[in-house]
Amino acid sequence: MAQHHHSPLKIGLVSVSDRASSGVYEDKGIPALRDWLAAALITPFETEVRLIPDERSEIEEALIDLADRSGCQLVLTTGGTGPSPRDVTPEATLAVGDKEMPGFGEQMRRISLEFVPTAILSRQVAVIRGRSLILNLPGQPKSIKETLEGLKDESGKPVVPGIFAAVPYCIDLIGGPYIETRDEVVKAFRPKSAQKPPAA
């Protein structure tokens, strides 16, 4: 298994919205993603941001640019995953991927179904492109947090696992840096053979 621990963690954040990209209203997806990552990750990271309209060609170009040229090991998109004609983020994501990772979308819908029956209308997908994991997330800040972190009971014990628990090990497997998380936000799961002692 390739190990590239010298490479710093780079995360691409893409907000797909006609109105936010044209300045009609303020984008809330990118700040929500940044805040959550800052709370969840022990590993230092840098972000590269794109705010683009619901245009398939522009989404594809942004994803390719972040994965291939910027070297982001993780790319998170927010918005554009519903059934309306302008929602084309999943199509763009599948078009640039080498491998589809259907479990991520399945789990996101499972989490959202705990809140709203219309969660089955969301079409989030995840793919691997080269050494990058690309994940489509919902558009609402509350839903972003829930899908990444999962659902917890009153004591803070996870009841439904969030998708981010599987992200660090996935990045290990595609040759990316070793990502450590704060257990109280989301506990990264790895098989014992893939775990390292915590960073001092």
Number of domains composing the chain: 1
The runs of H, that is alpha helices, within 45-157 are: 56-64, 89-96, 102-113, 141-149
45 occurs within a structural domain: yes
158 occurs within a structural domain: yes
Residues of the chain predicted below pLDDT 50: 1-5
**Domain of residue 40, residue span:** 9-194
Q: What is the pLDDT of residue 157?
A: 85
199 occurs within a structural domain: no
169 occurs within a structural domain: yes
118 occurs within a structural domain: yes
Q: What is the pLDDT of residue 197?
A: 85
Q: List, for residues 55-67, the tens digit of each pLDDT value.
A: 999 999 999 999 9
* DSSP letter, residue 164: G
Q: What is the pLDDT of residue 156?
A: 83
CB 78 within 8 A of CB 16: yes
13 occurs within a structural domain: yes
Q: What is the pLDDT of residue 186?
A: 95
Q: What is the pLDDT of residue 198?
A: 75
Q: What is the pLDDT of residue 158?
A: 83
58 occurs within a structural domain: yes
Domain of 92: which CATH number?
3.40.980.10
200 occurs within a structural domain: no
